[in-house]
Each structure stands twice: as C-alpha cells, then as structure tokens.
Amino acid sequence: MDAMNEGSIDIVAVPDHPGVRWWQAVASHGFVAGVAGLRATRSLGHDLLLPTALARTTDTAELTLYVEPRWRRRGIGSRLLAAALAETAEPRLVTHVAADSPGEAFCLWHDFRHTRSLRHDLLTYCNVHHAWLGELIDAEHPGYRLTHWTGDLPAELRIEELLRSPSRPGDAVLTAADAGGDLAAYAVAVVGAPARPRARQYGPAVLPGHRGRRLGRWVNAALIQRLREVHPHLEEIETVTAEDDSRLLALREDLGFGLLRRTRRYEFTLRPPTRPPATRGEDAR
C-alpha cells in the first residue's frame, strides 16, 4: 500500500459502542490508519465518587486519538479531530498524552491548552511487605472505623449511596473511614478484564474536618489488602497523581508505589460552560 495520502482516507463513524463515539480513518483495503473516540467524562482521580456536597458537573468529553506512525503528518489526525469536534455536545474536550510525545505536539499544534502534569505510579504485590501493611491497618484511629464495599460502579457515583448498598461481586473495591456514620475518607480501585492483572486506584481522599489524622494512608493500606483478597489474580495497582500534589505523592511513595510514566492533560474549549464548576478543597493526609 504505497498510496499513502490524505485523499485515500475515509473518516468513518463506528456504531455500536455504548457510551463512546468512535471514528476510524480507513485507507484502501480496509486498513485502519487511525482512530478517535469521545466519551462523556465521569469523575476520576481525586474527583471519583465525591460525596454529594462536594460533587461537581464537568461538562467535559474525553478525547482519545491515535494515528499509526507511518501515516502521521498527513492530516489524518486533524481530520479525526474535526469529526469529533463536529459531534461534540459538551463545551470542552480533555485528552491525556505522554509527556514529550507526538501526541503532545499534536495538541499544541491544534491550540489545546496544557492544564495538568500527571505522574503514573505502580505498586506490585510481590514487593508489598504484608506484615508492615497489616500494622498500618491495625493502627488505632480513635473515633473512626474502616468499612468496605465491593460491586460494579453505577453511572451516577455517590459514595454514601454505595456504602449503604449491599456488597456483591464486581469490578470495584471501596474502602472508607467512617466517623459516627459520617464519611471521613475513602479510596477506590477498579479492576479491568479478569485476564488483566492490574487494577486502577483512585484516591485516597480525606474530607474537610478529618484531615491531619493520617486517614488517607490508613484507608489506602486497607484498600491494598482488601483488593487482593477480593481479586487474588491481581499483581499490580496503578495510580495517577498530579505532579504538584506533593502530599499525595509522598503518601504513594510511603506505601511502595514507584514511577511508571508521566502524562500531561490538555484541554480544548469549544464554548463557555453553561455553569461554573463548584470549587472544593482536598487533602490526602
């Protein structure tokens, strides 16, 4: 296939992907030279499963875009982006790309704005000192108790509702610190396909009024232990942390997480949002 030029490419919408809109850049003989996807974001990272009082609406779609290396610099990525923009109802797009990668150069070329630098860390269970982990979990925190929940995450995520619902088999494990019936801190991990040995962790987050008591480390340690009990096939846990969140990065390092890679978040604003996002404070102590 030598005729590698923009004119030989058709941008085709791909149906039947619930929750995600996909486009393919299809060359001759059906070869897929690139793909783009859009999905409405739900709260992730520090925003995952926020209590009702702290929840916010993002009005954001997440963009995934990839062009095969031998087909790059031919306008294919720009055409895929244009197809996605034409179908976007949300006022802004976000995308995550590897630091100093061709994806980052593409974002800058198309006037995406860099909004956050992220660090991905990995914990492997073979390196976990389980006796030490048990000591962290057993440490006394007067006035607080650990609670757990397992199941599948619903589309609308509110942590108080999950903790009131019964546990069942599912891809998510939640560990929380309870203070007399009030949520104080929590951490969540989500498992992928059964054949994949890696889970993705979100948090820990500690609510205002409960910070400075090392609750974040407590619930995170308990989550690491509980996750392996519920899903014994797991070998690794991956986390994502903002590079400027020194407290959470220190907590990750303390628990044994190590650097996996760095990515950057870029944002493209199509129009002003219909309402401003609520502000909130967070802490991982």
Residues of the chain with pLDDT under 50: 1-3, 43-47, 54-56, 276-283
Instruction: Report the pLDDT value the prediction gives residue 45, as an integer from 0 to 100.
Output: 38
The rounded distance, in Å, linking the Cα atoms of 192 and 184 is: 27
Q: pLDDT tens across 261-276, in order?
A: 999 999 999 876 555 4
Residue 19 confidence (pLDDT): 75
pLDDT for the residue numbered 51 = 54
pLDDT of residue 272: 63
Question: What is this structure's pTM?
Answer: 0.81
How far apart, in whole angstroms, are the C-alpha atoms of residue 177 and residue 67?
44
Residues with Cβ < 8 Å from 193, sequence gap 6 or more? none
C-alpha to C-alpha distance for 162 and 190, rounded to whole angstroms = 14
Give the pair of three-digit tokens for residue 37.
Answer: 């996807």
What pLDDT shows up at residue 170? Answer: 92
Q: How many CB atoms lie within 10 A of CB 45?
A: 19
Q: Which residues contact 123 (CB under 8 A, 6 or more apart)?
A: 224, 236, 237, 239, 255, 256, 257, 258
Residue 285: what pLDDT? 55
112 contacts: CB under 8 Å, gap ≥ 6: 95, 266, 267, 268
Q: What is the DSSP string of the chain?
A: ----SGGG-EEEEE---TTEEEEEEE-GGG-EEEEEEEEE----GGGTT--GGG-----EEEEEEEE-GGG-SSSHHHHHHHHHHHT--SSEEEEEEETTSHHHHHHHHTT-EEEEEEEEEEEEGGG--HHHHHHHHHS--TT-EEEEEEEPPPSS--HHHHHHSPP-S-SEEEEEEEETTEEEEEEEEEE--TT--EEEEEEEEE-TTSTTSSHHHHHHHHHHHHHHHH-TT--EEEEEEETT-HHHHHHHHHHT-EEEEEEEEEEEESS--SSPPPP---B--
Question: What pLDDT shows up at residue 284?
Answer: 55
- Name which of 197, 207, 199, 212 is nearest 172 in CA terms: 199
pLDDT at 1: 40
